[in-house]
Amino acid sequence: MLDSLLDKSLVGYTALGHRWRHLEAIDVELGGRVALVTGATSGLGRATASALAKLGATLILVGRNPVKTERVAAAIVEETGNPNVRTELADLSLMAEVRALASRIEGPLHLLVNNAGVLLAERSETAEGFETTFATNLLGHFLLTELLIDKLEPPARVINVSSGGMYTQRIRVNDLQMERGRYDGAVAYARTKRAQVILTEIWAERLRDRGIVVHSMHPGWADTPGVSESLPRFHRLTKPLLRTPEQGADTIVWLCAAPEAASTSGLFWHDREPRPTHRSKNTRESEAERKALWDALSSMISA
């Protein structure tokens, strides 16, 4: 009853919502499991990586800054006592770097956490000509996942880190890179997160027979560097209510580790419970739009 009430209110997104749900500590042994986490040097990615290391997983941390990435890896080893942590460098907004990253991953891989993301105030394009938010949050992870599928050893899990902001948007297949009208960074971000949820459902069907589970989730409102830098006013107003990165990452870790999370695929989760993917009929996409999204992304990565 309480969970249902929290899910229907924004209070459920806050630290209070996490606390009131009384989630038990995750006690699962992940020794022998190899996890790759993108955006692993801060915020949710950093908290996820540390938690997986504590559970015994072998970690591959993906970051952009070599000094910061190595520093975080060393800190996780010291914090957890798990020496099985290595780093890889890649900018997920550049498809050439995504391809190079995937080629360096020998496998087997058991857990793939697609977490890296940006929310930008102004529209920009990468050196490859893609809108930066679209490239980082969506196209890069789409390409990485597709390239790593054959290296995922069943039972494997793919976790796509979305956002509650996706509830505000529907997919715009004819304007995936926000080239029309005024650019709004929050809208661009939310649309990529909506697309991640759609891809999760498509991958779940495509990969079911291969023993690969795919889920998406949203962390609620967490106090991360990304939030403070990209949404400073929101951060200032809500800071007393924000979750810690560890609270925000809890469901990511649970989806990676919990036996219950392997019994289904293609769901959208928050605080360890599956949630609706739409709050309004205005955000619903047609089957034709879902296919068009997949086809558009596939065309971009094959060009």
Q: What is the CATH number of the domain that holds 207?
A: 3.40.50.720
Decide if 252 is inside a domain. Answer: yes
Q: How far apart are CA 155 and CA 157, in angstroms?
A: 7
For residue 44, report the phi and psi dihedrals to the nearest 5 degrees. -65, -40
pLDDT at 3: 85
Decide if 13 is inside a domain. Answer: no
Q: How far apart are CA 254 and CA 246, in angstroms?
A: 12
CA angle, 270 as apex, 268 and 272 as ends, to 5°? 100
Task: Tell me the pLDDT band of 41, cut-offs 50, 70 and 90.
Answer: very high
Q: How far apart are CA 152 and CA 1, in angstroms?
A: 38
Decide if 24 is inside a domain. Answer: no
Decide if 61 is inside a domain. Answer: yes
Q: Any idea which residues carry the catalytic annotation?
A: 189
Q: How far apart are CA 174 and CA 171, in angstroms?
A: 9
Q: How far apart are CA 146 and CA 130, in angstroms?
A: 19
pLDDT tens per residue across span 86-135: 999 999 999 999 999 999 999 899 999 999 999 999 999 999 999 999 99
Decide if 1 is inside a domain. Answer: no
pLDDT tens per residue across span 222-256: 989 888 888 888 889 989 999 999 999 999 999 99
Decide if 21 is inside a domain. Answer: no
Decide if 25 is inside a domain. Answer: no
Contact between 148 and 260 (Cβ < 8 Å):
no
204: Cβ contacts below 8 Å, ≥ 6 apart = 213, 214, 215, 265, 266
Contact between 93 and 136 (Cβ < 8 Å):
yes
Decide if 14 is inside a domain. Answer: no
Q: How far apart are CA 212 and CA 68, in angstroms?
A: 32
Contact between 93 and 69 (Cβ < 8 Å):
no
> Mapped to the 3 state alphabet, what secondary structure does 92-156 carry?
CCCHHHHHHHHHHCCCCEEEEEECCCCCCCCCCECCCCCEHHHHHHHHHHHHHHHHHHHHEEEEE
pLDDT at 303 over 80: no
Q: How far apart are CA 152 and CA 263, in angstroms?
A: 18
Q: Domain span at residue 212?
A: 30-302
Query: pTM for the full model?
Result: 0.96
Mean pLDDT (whole number) for 145-153 = 98
The total number of structural domains in the chain stands at 1
pLDDT at 232: 87
